[in-house]
Amino acid sequence: MGNIVQVKNLSMTFYNKEGELQVLNDMNFSLEEGEILTLLGPSGCGKSTILNILTKLLKPTNGDVVVNGNIGYMFQKDHLLEWRNIMDNITLGLEIQKKKTPEAIARVEELLKTYGLWEFRNMFPKELSGGMRQRVALIRTLSVNPDILLLDEPFSALDYQTRLLVSDDVYKIIRNENKSAILVTHDISEAISMSDKVAVLSKRPSTVKDIYTINLREDKDLTPLQTRKVPKFQDYFDKLWKEFDSNEVK
């Protein structure tokens, strides 16, 4: 299978009144079709900037970004509109893109049924728990049928236990729907449990220090929670911890 995203020699400098700030320095990575890649990097290193460049919200200072497919972007906050019910929140993207066709609505209804949201469709966001809201946000992102999902710290607003459960859900949905995904996090365990590959980013100006292939799934159906119990998990954790930690001493 080929690369669905290719990032080559990507650099980004912001210019503003206070001067210039180089955020990304000569970054290289790729995402293969069907793969989940995690960008693991410290706070403020430019992770969201990378996603904004991939969606073309920002233009890079240097380098090439090739994206072979349409993108669905899921933010750290769920950005649900409190005055719209769940169904109307989920179809918002379709409305904006003028794609709210009967086929698209049927697809959304199918997603709601498959992922346990059907009976919530007439409720309002404030009636749902944080975990459920994130699930709604993911279904909304999926409603426009993107090839590639970009997930920017989607679990960081959740308490620890919910976070583990929701990441299991999100993982299963990504795999079930055969999506390719780039996940952004600064949580080492989350990175290992969710991904096929982990790119470790350095502090700003950030570059890709190393890319690890995670082979924890001889059994393909293991969920993130289950992979945390595979003995090799700790080896990956130790390696990534060392690499991530060396950010601080350099």
* Binding site residues, ligand ATP, CB under 6 A: 14, 16, 21, 23, 41, 43-49, 186
Contact flag: residue 206 with Mg ion (CB under 5 A): no
CA distance 112 to 139: 8
Nearer to ligand ATP, 16 or 178 (CB): 16
44 binds, among Mg ion, ligand ATP, none (CB under 5 to 8 A by kind): ligand ATP
Nearer to ligand ATP, 44 or 69 (CB): 44
DSSP codes, 54-85: HTTSS--SEEEEEE-S-EEEE-SS----TTS-
Nearer to ligand ATP, 55 or 114 (CB): 55
- What are the structure tokens assigned to 81, written together? 């509109």
Scanning 11-19, 47-55, 141-149, 207-215 for contacts with Mg ion by CB under 5 A, the matching segment is: 47-55
Whole-Å CA distances, 188 to 131, 133, 170, 216: 21, 24, 17, 15
Scanning 46-54, 98-106, 166-174, 222-230 for contacts with Mg ion by CB under 5 A, the matching segment is: 46-54
Scanning 40-48, 85-93, 155-163, 219-227 for contacts with Mg ion by CB under 5 A, the matching segment is: 40-48
- Burial (CB < 10 A; 0-12, 13-18, 19+), residue 240, is buried
For the bound state, the minimum distance from the C-beta of residue 36 to Mg ion, rounded and expressed in Å, comes to 18
- Nearest 5°: the CA angle 67, 69, 72 is 95
Nearer to ligand ATP, 77 or 107 (CB): 77
Question: Is 142:89 a contact under the CB 8 Å cutoff?
Answer: no
Whether the ω angle into residue 205 lies within 30 degrees of 0, i.e. cis, is: yes
Residues binding Mg ion (CB under 5 A): 47-48
